[in-house]
Structure 1
Amino acid sequence: MADHVYDVLVIGSGPAGESAAIAASKANLRVGVVENRPLVGGACAHKGTIPSKSLRHVIRQIIHYKNSTLFREIGDSRRLTYPRILKSARQVIPKQVELHTNFYVRNRINLHIGQASFIDANTVSVSVVDGARETFTATNIVIATGSSPYHPADVDFNHPRIYDSDTILDMQHTPRHIIIYGAGVIGCEYASMFSGMGMVVDLINNRDRLLSFLDDEISDALSYHLRDSGVTVRHSEEYAQIEANQHSVTLHLKSGKRLKADAILWCNGRSGNTDLLNLEAIGLQADYRGNLEVDKRYRTAVDNIYAVGDVIGWPSLASASFGQGRAVSSIIAGVEIPPVDDVPTGIYTLPEISSIGKTENELTAAKVPYEVGRAFFKNTARGQISGDDVGMLKLLFHVDTLQILGVHCFGGEAAEIVHIGQAIMQQPGEGNNIGYFLNNTFNYPTMAEAYRIAALDGMNRINRL
């Protein structure tokens, strides 16, 4: 006989698992959550989004302070070490844990701490903290176990100079020179943060350009500003081996190059956390990166078992995971809602990047007649006041209908600014029109005013003003 019986059992308490559990509870279903960490929040709260973005915030404050005339007048030359900065950044984690724990309490969701593994499609065994095992049965099971940094077998991640994107948040020294292998989103974010701290950074990219899914102009801007901040970006390179000793680490590349530094950060992909779930018992098989395949309703190959969040791969964003969790519980409760789509990209480099919609390359390939409107932050009063005068807002819109087709932003508060454009793009029919930004008044001075400037610039290009 099972120790616990539920309508919905959620495995994992990160963004996807939490939102799935709360949505199921609000649909009057009996809900249980199994989490293998001692505290809720998943990697998002403990090892990923929250601590890394908090670290970025502290570094950004330091950069702004050091660039101010006030700092130069004071002449404060005290060195802020990485551990000191990290200690400040980590203060947000207990607040997040308390916040998310209260969500479960308020929604009367039973939380169980332990490692889950399948017995059959309706039964899960959980190894709890004291070594005992409990059995759970559920009509529906949602796998929301998240992901972890990918570890190739020939890299010794136990060495004190070799880090991944989890362990870098525990580094207790301040490298003068660090190598970052992998120039995806995480690699670019850490490259900008570490260079902002004054470290020498080598960023190794195994492709021919940075973040090729971005609009070319935004990708080029990121590349320029990384190099301008002192980052050495090396494209089209692949590692051959890594040697590390007590004093240094050396990266050997297949091109023959040898790079020596104080530490290396491995940021070359992530793997779904499925290896401990005993998927064989239910006939499921993860791909080579541990991810699960699902249909548009987030259902796996087993009818009553669903998967959401990073464990299903792209887009692997906390924002999308929250939406996927809510969607899957609505589907289980019999309310069909569309899958999470058209997710804005938020990249927390210094300066940050955000975009939604089509890129110029995509519109050109589709033979869509479009025009571009730009607003440069250096020409906005708010950008000059705040010091966020690097970057721009770029609007892509249809020449004939004036429908907004893409919004791309590089610079201060980009991840916030993009949502204004997103809201207009989601309006039905003629509501999605660049004219909205021409015919409405924006507070002055604000970063949002960039939309009016970009719209005027775009309309001037097609001679309609």
Structure 2
Amino acid sequence: MVGLWTAATRSTPLLRGRLFSTIKPQVAAYDLVVIGSGPSATQCALESAKQGKRVAIVDKKTRLGGVCVHTGTIPSKTFREAVLHLSGYRHHGFYGKSYSMKTVTIEDILYRVQRVVSSEEDVVRAQLKAARVDVVPGFARFENEHEISIIRDDDDQKKKKNGSTTAGSSTLDSLSRIKADKFLIACGTRPAHNPLIPIDGKVVIDSDQILSRDMHQLPRSLIVLGAGVIGMEYASMVNVVPGHTVTVVDGRPDILSFCDREIISNLTYEMQSNGARFLLGETVKKVETTDKRVKVFFNSGKVLSADALLYTVGRQAATDGLNLEAVGLSRNHRGLININKNYQTDQPHIYAAGDCIGAPALASTSMEQGRLASCHMWNPNEELAATSQLENGNYPYGIYTIPEISMVGQTEQQLTKDCVNYEIGIAKYSELAKGQMMGAMAGGTLKILFDPDTLKVFGVHAIGEGATEIIHIGQVAMAMGCSLTYFRDAVFNYPTLAEAYRVAALNGLGRLSRNTEEH
């Protein structure tokens, strides 16, 4: 791509791209333009900047970090920590269910959420600034295969007139077109809506609205429609708040069907012990609302009434408006973009990563997808060693329910379906000194699936406090090809939850020994 730095560019140090014209419309050129500012977007931008490329991020939001920082991962997990602390849930095993730090209010929760979100956004902004990545506010729209236009809404224009900008440069704020050699689409997703569900942001809300400032209090009775990851996380969080009841509804017969069934049984038992109710195989006929209540009518004839309904059935990729048709790219019914193993779309110079390409739609895997996309952009012939870990599923999956769940590798269902012989080793938190110290949150389990002949580890599954932390021991061991004997012979700090690996290994080897004796 041809272009020269101009005096206007040199006088505006924040603009790294090449400015084609100093008269409007302003057009700049970059090596890479990233659409979005979430985990995959920022990682791709930072990795490309490290390789000396001129990079710009275009985001319609005035706040950086994407869904992960503002409405998804960070707020929901901060909500969880706030609820656990304020409700005193972690101490119920010692002091009883009536124990709590204080009355849980939405103000206390939002205070903590907003503090953490603000800090995370500052981190993202500082990283991009240090890497000399330009941030261009506005909505990206493809005009042709190598050029996008920047669309700004009325609010952006008002801020611009008032001198309030977010990118730190009037030149960036006035850009109307950008040319680039390569693009990464990482625009994320938003909650999917159903015409049967009249979402009003008050008594019928989606997962983006539950932590909005429009919420004046936590609903004392909540219907969660959708027993997926998001629905189960929020349901379990509200479920531990004293005086609050939750009913989880889903049209499917199983909850989190991709998880180990024994682990899910433990989760539902724990939630039911706190008063949660599950209605599975139920479909909605209609929903009626008043100012303060919602009533749900099901096709089975059941009727539920509650203070609020949280709708969490599915996500929709935020790819509409990008004008993908102009560059020959299509989307499926959920707006998802098709890619190959290198994260290239049907246009080889246009990549896509993160939630907008579909499963697993995790912040952790999105970061790696963004990094790998960058590696392929600038070194297409170089072997991507980390690709195998994403392709073979050797990455951890964390579900931040209460209690939390984590897994890596295969489940019993998968091994049975594939006709693979396996044995299990189990450790209960109650067997660990650390587990005893933790009281109510000690009802956890670590489960190792392994080959009874070679002792190869097929998968590790955990539920309980710290499950999303200790799962990484299993992840690394599997990646290094360690067998079950590694856990048996390893020395772990004492007292820790990590000891569960040794206890589970000994349990599994004991099962093998007994089976041998019986035969």
TM-score range, shorter chain: over 0.9
Mapping for residues 451-462 of structure 1, pairs under 5 Å: 451-462=501-512
Residues 79, 407 of structure 1: CA spacing in aligned structure 2 closer, same or farther, 3 A cutoff? same
Counterpart in 2 of 1:374?
426
Give the stretch that moved more between structures: 387-396 or 441-450.
387-396
The alignment status of 1:440 with 2:493, answered yes or no, reads no
- Residue 336 of structure 2 aligns to a residue whose secondary structure is coil
Shift of 1:315: 0.4
- The 1-side partners of 2:397 and 2:372 are apart by 20
1:157 aligned residue (199, 218, 226): 199
Give the stretch that moved more between structures: 19-28 or 449-458.
19-28
Shift of 1:300: 1.0
The alignment status of 1:144 with 2:186, answered yes or no, reads yes
Calculate percent identity across the aligned residue pairs. Answer: 38
Counterpart in 2 of 1:409?
462
With normalisation by structure 2, the TM-score equals 0.85
- The 1-side partners of 2:78 and 2:59 are apart by 24
The alignment status of 1:202 with 2:202, answered yes or no, reads no
The alignment status of 1:40 with 2:67, answered yes or no, reads no
- Residue 230 of structure 2 aligns to a residue whose secondary structure is helix
- Residue 80 of structure 2 aligns to a residue whose secondary structure is helix
The alignment status of 1:117 with 2:141, answered yes or no, reads yes
Q: Which amino acid aligns with 1:376?
A: K
With normalisation by structure 1, the TM-score equals 0.95
Output one character per residue of 1:335-373: Cα deviation in whole Å (capped at 9) or x when no partner: 341533322110000000000111112112222221100
1:64 aligned residue (67, 89, 95): 89
Mapping for residues 27-426 of structure 1, pairs under 5 Å: 27-61=51-85, 62-64=87-89, 67=92, 79-128=103-152, 129-130=156-157, 134-170=176-212, 171-198=215-242, 199-334=244-379, 335-337=382-384, 339=387, 340-341=390-391, 342=393, 343-387=395-439, 388-426=441-479
Q: Which runs of 5+ in 2 are unaligned?
A: 1-19, 21-25, 159-173
- The 1-side partners of 2:308 and 2:39 are apart by 31
Give the stretch that moved more between structures: 154-163 or 298-307.
154-163
Output one character per residue of 1:302-361: Cα deviation in whole Å (capped at 9) or x when no partner: 221111000001001000100000000000011341533322110000000000111112
The two structures, once aligned, show a CA RMSD in angstroms of 1.9
Shift of 1:219: 1.7
Question: Stretches of 4+ moved more than 6 A in 1?
Answer: 70-73
Equivalent residues of 1:162, 1:266 under 8 A apart = yes
- The 2-side partners of 1:152 and 1:280 are apart by 25
Residues 238, 370 of structure 1: CA spacing in aligned structure 2 closer, same or farther, 3 A cutoff? same
Q: Which amino acid aligns with 1:288?
A: H
Count of residues in Structure 1 that have an aligned counterpart in Structure 2: 461
- The 1-side partners of 2:486 and 2:102 are apart by 49
User: Which structure has the larger Rg?
Assistant: 2
Residues 72, 239 of structure 1: CA spacing in aligned structure 2 closer, same or farther, 3 A cutoff? closer
Shift of 1:151: 1.0
- Residue 227 of structure 1 aligns to a residue whose secondary structure is helix
Counterpart in 1 of 2:50?
26
- Residue 168 of structure 1 aligns to a residue whose secondary structure is coil
Output one character per residue of 1:368-402: Cα deviation in whole Å (capped at 9) or x when no partner: 22110000001111011122311100001111111
